[in-house]
Amino acid sequence: MMKTLRHKQIQFWVYISILFLFPVLFLLYKSFTLPMRYETHLHAHFTMQGWVTLFSENQLIQATFVSLGIGAIVVILNLIVGLTAGYALAFYDFKGKSLLEALILFPIIIPLLAITIGVHIAMIRLGIADTWVGVVLIHLVPTIPYAVKILRNGYTSLGTAILEQAYVLGPDPWQRFLSIDLPLLKPAIRSTIFLTFVISLSQYVITAIIGGGNVVTLALVFFPFLNSANSTVLAAFSIWFALLPFLFYILIELLFLLLPYQKPWRTRS
Amino acid sequence: MKKYSLFMLIILLLTACGQSNNPNTQSIDFQHTSWSDITQKADSTTVNIHMWGGDEGINRYIDEWVAPKLKEQYNITLNRTPMDTQNILQKLHSEKRAGKQEGTIDVIWINGENFKNAKNNELLYRPFRDQLPNFKKYYDQESLAFQYDFGTAVDGYEAPWGKVQFVFQYNSNKIEEPPKSFEELKAWVKDNPGKFTYPNPDDFSGNAFLRHLLYQSADSPESIIEEPFSKQHATKHSQEMWSYLNEIEPHLWREGKHYPSTLSELDRLYSNGDVWMTMGYNEARAEHMIEDGVFPESTRSFVMESGSIGNTHFLAIPYNSPNKEGALTAINFLLSPNAQLKKLNPTYWGDNTPISIDKLSAEDQEKFQSLDRGKTVLPGKKLEESFLPEADSAYVEWLKENWKNEVIRND
Amino acid sequence: MKSSGTTKIWLLLLPVFLFLLLPAYGLFSALWSSLIHQGSLSLQTYQELFQKETFWSSLFYSLRITFIATGVSLVIGLLLTRTFYPVINRLPGKLSVWLPMLFPHFVWGYIVLLLFEQSGLFSYMFHHLGIIESRESFPILTNDQNGIGMILTYIGKEVPFVVLMLLPVYVQKNHQYKDLVRTLGGGRWAAFKDAEWPWVSPILLESGVILFAFILSAYEVPYLLGATFPEMISILTYDWFYAGDWSERPLAFAAMISTSILIGIVSWGLYAITNRKRWLLTKGKR
């Protein structure tokens, strides 16, 4: 039994290295070297130029914090909508449920640009265009569908039985949510947080239009450089961009450690 | 309860009309305000410039040189925001439709189709150019390059900031003698299959490559530049161009089955050595690319004997700029000889100046003339001689549409 | 079973309804723009759109690429998850599987380009190892007419997403069912079919619908890795959208809406079929 697990682990890391680790390491390598010439012999020109360019971008640090802040609020709103709707969709049957599920997907199906342009005028009239509130709202459009779907699936795989047992614990729904639902749903919640944060972070056009340049997120600084033939600079920017959700993820993991009833549920495999 | 709140929100969204807390910024008439009053009002304000942000040299020019100078000389805080011109216009367009009179952008960087769009949709503040002291003093008022922007009358809605010319870059290690004409280019392409391609005309530079051919294809460039655009006229004069493009297609990179969709894709191919030529506006663009190690050291540039298209790029003020005095002051500063000289310097941007050198002081003239733009940049005289103006911007769209039918779907 | 009634359902659904106002409002204004033709309401734009051969050929091409990319991502994602979920559920495993999700699609596409293009890393390696003579002998895998470059990018980016969707199911799944089937004498296939597939299939299907919708309407990857011809529908609509003087916008909106409605109806149908099944499953009465 132990042996197969060990074997599996090795197999897993081989696959993962080829599929995911190698490309990322290659990108990291690119960020420190000049573009290679095909005919020349195998040796790399080391350079810090990519990273120097990155940090000489004077809006970088501020934009990074703006992105973190907006991402955090988007994540919280996503959890609120996702947990409530996910619960209803998983445990109740009602008329028009299938239609509602398809409707929730709509924001992914319709090109965001079309939605954004329509919403923009309404936002200007409401006075929330050019503000972080508007940007947060528009970031909900490409994220909520994922949150609802993931959390709904999380609830479904828990099954009703386990939540029924929880009724024994007492009538306070909030207490029940904190001590039963939340720890059990942790994998789904973790996925939601991670995914919605990443999606929010990488929104460029909709942030530019709704934020009107008043809200400068990291995407606004980063995306114009994508149109550059300089792979060194592009690679450095991309790595920095990817570090942000990584840091956010670690922060969330630390928060999770503070949750009640941590151990008993975790060790079950 | 749910239904009620839904209803309320919809009503709110639909009826809330233009928040009319604007102090009617539009009605301020600067025509009768003296320049010193304008700069005085601009004192200790913030100017928001929104511009494309994908070039490190340009960004540094604004952030490291222009912004501190503006602070020092006029006590203006310049705030640069990276944003595509298309998105800026989209934003202004929506604001216009929503009746928003106080926007967030004071200065934009614009030309060509975007300018035409902005002007036609009334997204720009009224004509201001001729009020700028630096424009009046150092620029050729009569120059056609400032009267028309891709065939659209400028009418003072924008002020010239820089000018660029279309040049080809080639690897001098691979090519000893670059082609002088499109005929020679064709012969070279046939001799060196797979080593040349041009960007898809959906790209700005790819489109310019085609316009060069179009000028050549017509009896003379003037018949394209001077006559107003019409489909018949375009079709009539483009036959030779299409057959040229179809003739070279099988010898292009990847046998013309795929064209780079952007100039940066072509630049990357050139950087990798897949192709031996690239091209683009800004005669000094290779300097930065070599410095960054993207282009090989042996890169040089050339223009065709039939000429090279050049255009001017401009600065404009959106109709709802909240700080028009600041915008005017900043634009005037950007047009000044000092700011133009720094812009020309290859350490930052290397962008050419639309200023009239002969109107400058002897000292400044000397500074401009002695500036070394780098070994990849053709001599100023050569560039001037080969200069061709842009045609009506309607050609840009027309070429995009027809190229696909004539060249791509043809095979 | 739950007695609290409809009020509670509506209360729970209130946030999502409020949210849906946003895209709904956007959709209606897009629809409105596509229905206005020369100042009056008409279906003229749609007629014009449906007569365009470029629209149809581009749509079918996009559907083909999207189907392949979605299918392959689902299969690889499922295999990875069910084989390795104990490893993936630990922190290092999870972090490494989710690694590609940290990068925007555009960046992942760029990596694919740097690796697979004719002068990319692999070609370079093969050349220096003496396997190929020149870069031209390396197969064309990017900006190719079969969309291989795009599909490779989507596999890299979407497999982690599929794993992310499936992982909670496998981690939370009641493994006793599987043991039960095995104890009762069922083979591996029976164990999969009866104790695994019923839980996995709805989520797989749902991930498929999401991926399908996303890939069909995504712009960045085809922009970077698509061929000049044939072009993906998103590129076509984007071109119309930003064309010169914005005069082709109604056409762009019409194309966006037609494809959206198509996917919308298909996904509604799929949900209607699976919901029945899932409902029984949740209640543990299957």
Residue-wise pLDDT for C225-259, tens only, equals 999 989 999 999 988 888 777 888 889 999 988 88
Share of chain B above pLDDT 90, in %: 77
Question: Picking from B105-119, B367-381, B392-406, C262-276, which range would have the lowest pLDDT averaged per residue?
Answer: C262-276
* Measured CA distances, A97 to A103, A151, C12, C18, C270 (Å): 10, 16, 13, 16, 12
- Higher pLDDT among residues C181 and B361, named by residue: B361
Helix/strand/coil for B203 = coil
Average pLDDT over residues B307-313: 94
Residue-wise pLDDT for B318-358, tens only, equals 999 999 999 999 999 999 999 999 999 988 899 999 999 99
* Contact call for A221 and B82, based on CB within 8 A: yes
What residues in A contact B81, CB-CB < 8 Å?
A: 213-214, 216, 220
Question: Picking from A58-62, A163-167, B255-259, C38-42, which range would have the lowest pLDDT averaged per residue?
Answer: A163-167
Contact B259, B279 (CB under 8 A): no
Q: B-contacting residues of A 128-147, CB under 8 Å?
A: 129-130
Tell me whether domains B36-161+311-375 and B165-310+388-408 share a fold.
yes
Q: What is the pLDDT of residue C274?
A: 77
A251: how many CB neighbours lie within 10 A of its CB?
Answer: 13
Q: Residue B411 pLDDT more than 60? A: no
The reply to whether C246 touches chain B by the CB within 8 Å rule is yes
Q: What is the pLDDT of residue C248?
A: 85
Contact B103, B310 (CB under 8 A): no
Average pLDDT over residues A108-135: 90
Average pLDDT over residues A233-255: 89
Q: Which residue has the tokens 């000429």?
A: B307
The reply to whether B390 touches chain A by the CB within 8 Å rule is no
Share of chain A above pLDDT 90, in %: 41
Q: What is the pLDDT of residue A42?
A: 65
Q: What is the pLDDT of residue A168?
A: 62
Q: What is the pLDDT of residue A97?
A: 86
Q: What is the pLDDT of residue B22?
A: 40
**Minimal Cα distance from C209: which residue of A?**
A105
The reply to whether A101 touches chain B by the CB within 8 Å rule is no
Query: Whose CA is closest to B108, among B389, B280, B348, B324?
Result: B324
Average pLDDT, chain A: 85
Residue-wise pLDDT for B364-399, tens only, equals 999 999 999 999 999 989 999 999 999 998 999 899
Of C17, C145, C223, the CB nearest to B257: C145
Query: Domains of chain A (ranges plus CATH)?
Result: 51-266 (1.10.3720.10)
Q: How many helices (H) and strands (E) does chain A have?
A: 14, 0
What residues in A contact C234, CB-CB < 8 Å?
A: 111
The reply to whether A117 touches chain B by the CB within 8 Å rule is yes
A15 φ/ψ angles, rounded to the nearest 5 degrees: -60, -50
Task: Write the ipTM.
Answer: 0.87
Q: Residue A265 pLDDT more than 50? A: no
* Contact call for C21 and B272, based on CB within 8 A: no
Q: What is the pLDDT of residue A23?
A: 94
Q: Most confidently modeled of A153-167, B219-233, B259-273?
A: B259-273
Q: Assign C282 a pLDDT band (cuts: 50, 70, 90).
A: low
Average pLDDT, chain B: 89
- Higher pLDDT among residues C222 and A153, named by residue: C222
Q: How many helices (H) and strands (E) does chain C have?
A: 13, 2
The shortest C-alpha distance from B232 to chain A (Å) reads 34
Q: Residue B174 pLDDT more than 80? A: yes
Q: Residue C38 pLDDT more than 80? A: no
Alpha helices, DSSP H, located in B98-161: 112-120, 133-138, 144-147
- Higher pLDDT among residues A4 and A217, named by residue: A217
Distance between CA C179 and CA C176 in Å, rounded?
5
Q: What is the pLDDT of residue B54?
A: 83
Question: Picking from A30-39, B139-148, C172-181, which range would have the lowest pLDDT averaged per residue?
Answer: C172-181
Residue-wise pLDDT for C160-210, tens only, equals 999 988 887 787 666 666 677 777 777 778 878 877 888 888 889 889 988
Q: Residue A263 pLDDT more than 70? A: no
- Higher pLDDT among residues B405 and A183, named by residue: B405
* Contact call for B408 and C228, based on CB within 8 A: yes
Of C21, C135, C223, the CB nearest to B261: C223
Q: Residue C62 pLDDT more than 70? A: yes
Nearby residues of B358 by Cβ (< 8 Å), 6 or more positions away: B365
Of A21, A149, A154, the CB nearest to C206: A149
For chain C, the structural domain boundaries read: 41-282
**Minimal Cα distance from C237: which residue of A?**
A111
Angle between helices C148-172 and A132-167 (to 10 degrees): 30
Question: Picking from A66-75, A109-118, B118-127, which range would have the lowest pLDDT averaged per residue?
Answer: A109-118
**Dihedral angle over CA of B397, B400, B401, B407, nearest 10:** 150
What residues in B contact C10, CB-CB < 8 Å?
A: 2
Q: Residue B11 pLDDT more than 70? A: no
Q: A-contacting residues of B 67-106, CB under 8 Å?
A: 81-84, 87-88, 90-91, 94-95, 97-98, 100, 103-105
Q: Assign B29 a pLDDT band (cuts: 50, 70, 90).
A: low
Structure tokens at B161: 């900031």
* Measured CA distances, C201 to B17, B382, C18, C92, C197 (Å): 48, 69, 30, 27, 5
Q: Which chains touch A (3 or more CB pairs under 8 A)?
A: B, C
Distance between CA C4 and CA A111 in Å, rounded?
38
Q: What is the pLDDT of residue B14?
A: 45
Residue-wise pLDDT for C93-137, tens only, equals 888 888 898 888 989 999 999 999 998 999 999 998 989 988 889
The reply to whether A46 touches chain B by the CB within 8 Å rule is no
**Minimal Cα distance from B91: which residue of A?**
A209
Average pLDDT over residues A183-209: 89
Q: Which CATH superfamily groups domain B36-161+311-375?
A: Periplasmic binding protein-like II (3.40.190.10)
B20 φ/ψ angles, rounded to the nearest 5 degrees: -95, 50
Distance between CA B324 and CA B25 in Å, rounded?
9
Q: What is the pLDDT of residue A259?
A: 66
Its CATH class, for the domain covering C41-282, is mainly alpha
Q: What is the pLDDT of residue B3?
A: 46
The shortest C-alpha distance from A110 to chain B (Å) reads 19
For chain B, the structural domain boundaries read: 36-161+311-375, 165-310+388-408
Contact C250, C37 (CB under 8 A): yes
Helix/strand/coil for B79 = strand
Contact C45, C252 (CB under 8 A): no
Its CATH class, for the domain covering B165-310+388-408, is alpha beta
Question: Picking from A104-108, B2-6, B135-139, C84-88, which range would have the lowest pLDDT averaged per residue?
Answer: B2-6
Q: What is the pLDDT of residue C33?
A: 85
The shortest C-alpha distance from B207 to chain C (Å) reads 13
Q: What is the pLDDT of residue B56?
A: 84
Q: A-contacting residues of C 116-145, CB under 8 Å?
A: 119, 121, 123-124, 127-128, 135
Q: What is the pLDDT of residue C3?
A: 43
CA terminus-to-terminus distance, chain C = 16
Contact B197, B269 (CB under 8 A): yes
Q: What is the pLDDT of residue B358?
A: 93
Distance between CA C130 and CA C125 in Å, rounded?
9
Q: Assign A163 a pLDDT band (cuts: 50, 70, 90).
A: low
* Contact call for C30 and A19, based on CB within 8 A: no
* Contact call for A269 and C128, based on CB within 8 A: no
